[in-house]
Amino acid sequence: MFPPAKVLTVVETTKHVEPVRAFEFWRNTALKNLGIVDRPNPHEAFSANRLAALSAHTTLLLTESSPVSVEGDLRHIRRAGRDEVVVSFFLSGHGYLEQGSCGHVVGVGDIGFIRLDRPFAVGGLSPYRELRFSVPRVNFEARVGNADALTGRRIRASPSTELLTTYMHDVARSATGMSEAEAGLAVEGALHIVRSLVGDRDDGDRASSEVLRSLARVHIERHSHDASYGPRAMAAALNVSRSKLYRAFADGEGIAAEIRDARLDRIHRWLTSASNDRTPINVLMHACGFTDAPGFSKAFKRRFGMSAKDVRALRQG
């Protein structure tokens, strides 16, 4: 009798790579052939590691990484030829996902969905730890339902999503030494939980204004480095009128303030990270689309109650 087939597990890391080459190494190994890979702050030290479990039933990835973005374009998608659905969850940090006319900023406990046979954009907006698994679309649709109804969307964090996250985290921890049969049962269990979550999901995301706000926030995060990116460019990218975009954010300070605050929040995150201690504040400012130093200083202090210099000094003690 032959021993049962085992799941193949691989550990990838930048630990033994020179820091200046770490991002390039990660892009050309772990993220090779996925699409256009970039990072929001090229001045920040980069590190990453990943456990990959590969079986006939699923590909499971447990990743810890500095911020990075991946844009799956048609060229890479056709080359890869993967008709699969990816289910992802952030264990720490936050990021985004976008596909078709849907997109969301996702945080701890949220569950996101994308298809690998269509253009997509995903990424981490802060240092993050993420768990994701992919299954053939035909299997996903047989056990969960229409993939098109979910891709590019998220299910918000709840006790129910925590159940799936905990379940898949346990699967990842036991992947080494797992048999193919056990992997198949693990995926069946995960898809059963996903099906129950889909049935209970909040239909509020279907409201057009909420969908537009969510997608707009993804675009803001993705383009926060571009000083020229404003409501006009966003409306064109989202293929909506500027009046519709303005209405979607009418309950707050408006779309321009949303863009400004997202840029300020990113700089604040960078200032509270030790990996940016040697990067001058004016470099971080320009990396987030600010070109007017006095205007930046005033806006930053109004939002956080202290100067950027004081925020950095507070973290450094």
Alpha carbon 104 to chain centroid distance?
9
User: What pLDDT tens digit does each residue of the chain (317 aa) get?
Assistant: 445 678 899 999 999 999 999 999 999 999 988 899 999 888 889 999 999 998 888 899 999 999 999 999 988 888 888 899 999 999 999 999 999 888 899 999 999 999 999 999 999 999 999 999 999 999 999 989 999 989 888 998 888 788 788 888 888 888 888 888 888 888 888 888 888 888 654 443 334 576 677 778 877 887 888 888 888 888 887 777 888 888 888 887 888 998 999 899 989 988 988 888 888 999 999 988 899 999 999 999 999 999 999 999 988 77
CA-based torsion, 38, 245, 286, 301: positive or negative: negative
H/E run at residue 87: strand 84-92
* Residue boundaries of the structural domains of the chain: 8-205, 207-316
First vs last C-alpha separation in the chain: 64
Q: Which residues contact 12 (CB under 8 A, 6 or more apart)?
A: 29, 30, 48, 49, 50, 52
Q: d(Cα 145, Cα 151) in Å, to the nearest integer?
A: 11
Please report which residue ranges of the chain form alpha helices under DSSP H: 22-28, 74-80, 137-143, 159-173, 180-200, 208-222, 231-238, 242-248, 255-271, 281-287, 293-304, 308-316
Give the pair of three-digit tokens for residue 134. 């992919």
Q: pTM (2 decimals)?
A: 0.73
Contact present, 119 and 72 (Cβ < 8 Å): yes
Tokens describing residue 65: 């990484």
For 8-205, CATH gives 2.60.120.10
CATH class of the 207-316 domain in this structure: mainly alpha
